[in-house]
Structure 1
Amino acid sequence: MLDTTRLDVFAVFDNGSVGRPELTIALDVASRSILAAVLRPHSTKGVDAALLLAEMAAPAPGAAGLAAGAGDVAGTGALRPHGRRRRPAAGRGGAAGGGAETVVIDRGRVFVSEAFLAAAQTLGISVQPAPPRQPAAKGPVERTFGSVNTLFCQHVAGHTGASPARRGANAESEARWSVAQLQDLLDEWIAVEWQNRPHEGLRHPSMPAVALSPNEMWGALLGTCGHVPVPLGKADYVELLPGGVEADH
């Protein structure tokens, strides 16, 4: 499932202004793994969503060792100081990522743009629109956004709260991070915290009393479905980019 929302954190944009960046994620419903996450200062474009598909298909090298080697952070609810952090690989899904056969989208202009649909066709991905006027059809990704906002955003400087009534008088003045820095923080939180956090909705038939983490559920499902990473070269990424003026403008 793919979807977009405004993050509940103020960021400092390149021009010095302050605002809430937009977050787009790709969620593997079976394991609740966040396969890819992209932050943009303003509105996400069709080309951003297209590259999100590529990130799902071909995770960055080195992802497999990140979660296992970060035990000093996992479960503490704290992030290491910026200078001591390692930049995690963007692809996840059991620290491995994976190409999708089908993605479920809403009918927002980003996901029905020519750039996105062409990228999906190039990667052999079927695009399935969610039923109109049925918010529950995308319940898993909406709940994941809620978890990001409560479990991650509330610990970040510049947290806005869920509504103006739940924030301080000068929340904008507390913004400290650029969008790129927030992306780094979010990438680490997903790889270290989210992927290793037990999820009450993830149960294995042989261990129904144990709540599994997204990484554990991904590992359990590999035995059933298998996994084949999709290597993408420079030419593949160029092909995913829209020609000329962006199609969704």
Structure 2
Amino acid sequence: MKSIVNKALCIITTIAGIGLATQASALTMLDFENPQSVGLSAIPYWQGSALPDSAKVNRHFADLGIVAENTVLLDGGVGHAASGRYMIGGIGSKGFLDYDAPMRFTFVSTKDGNSPMLTDFFSINTDRAGGSGNSITLYGYAVDGSLIGKVTQVEGGGNDHLELAGLGLFHSVVVDPSLSNPSTGGIGFDMLTFGDLQAFIPSNKVPEPSILSLAALGLLGLGHLRRNRT
């Protein structure tokens, strides 16, 4: 049985000027194939299934730099999930499994599990069934909640690969599937992968030196004016 976490080293080669430049980027992938190791237990993958707390994915992977919201672990049976058996789905407003509900993933420091972090790569795969005709949109957001970019794809033949890349750095990702026709089934997700994490550094709002100089000159002028009046 595969580990729930896989580490991969991806070598990216680009042409820079005359020669070749290589950049090594470490990817972290969650395949959810050993849920007991992080205290999770899966539920059946039927739409509307009840959700015990033990199936809800949240801070189970904070030590790896990612926190999940509105996410539940599903048992798809052998061969249904992209990596084997287990996958994830969304939690609806009434607290049940809902394939029309979005899931959010936020990147945090591996040291404290809270400080905001950024990445420039995120990907996820659909289950192996395919053919539902439902769409999936990935949204990438900055720390302040502004939208960095998005990508939308209609599910194809199964085990479809979706990714956010080339948009710059983002702090969180929302995976938002549709369920246009419940009779065709919803989409389970697996093999969640993200790139290197970088610390978020808030913009420095200290006044520019030129502004400080003008303020100092203004104070000097005010003092000179007061002396003249006396």
TM-score band by shorter chain is under 0.3
TM normalised by structure 1 equals 0.23
TM normalised by structure 2 equals 0.25
Looking at CA atoms only, which structure, 1 or 2, has the larger radius of gyration? Answer: 2
Higher relative contact order (CA 8 A, sep 6+): 1
Instruction: Select the structure that is richer in helix.
Output: 1
